[in-house]
Amino acid sequence: MSATAEGTWTRVGAPGDVPVLEGRAVTVAGRRIAVFRLDDGGWAAVDAACPHKGGPLQDGIVGDGCVTCPLHQQRFRFTDLVAHEVRVDGDGIFVRLAGAA
Ligand code: FES
């Protein structure tokens, strides 16, 4: 997905770009972020590199508030990963990096 800067929030795509229970990789300020659409209507955004050995979390299996990394099948709760703010507004998904003002 493409990203367009908009203040501290960055538009990273449209909700229709991400099917339910899937993730997509985006780049925000040079940082690789995995954006996930959850089955409860919510969204999650975390660093895309798996904390184990850098696997592509955006390609992981999503469920029960967790993502399972496709490389070695380790399962991580979204709340235990480096999480970023994510919101959907109209036709945009917006991400604000953790620690951003
Ligand atoms: S790199 Fe993700 S589980 Fe090993």
> What per-residue confidence (pLDDT) applies to 1?
66
Q: 42: CA distance to ligand 1 center in Å?
A: 24
pLDDT (tens, 9 = 90+) of the chain, 101 residues, equals 656 554 499 999 999 999 999 999 999 999 999 999 999 999 999 999 999 999 999 999 999 999 999 999 999 999 999 999 999 999 999 999 987 54
Q: 81: CA distance to ligand 1 center in Å?
A: 13
Residues with CB under 6 A from ligand 1: 50, 52-55, 69, 71-72, 74
Q: Which of 46, 53, 81 is the pocket-test mutation for ligand 1 (most atoms within 8 Å of CB)? A: 53
- pTM: predicted TM-score of the whole model, two decimal places: 0.90
* Per-residue H/E/C for 13-56: ECHHHCCCCCEEEEEECCEEEEEEECCCCCEEEEECECCCCCCE
> What per-residue confidence (pLDDT) applies to 48?
97
> What per-residue confidence (pLDDT) applies to 99?
72
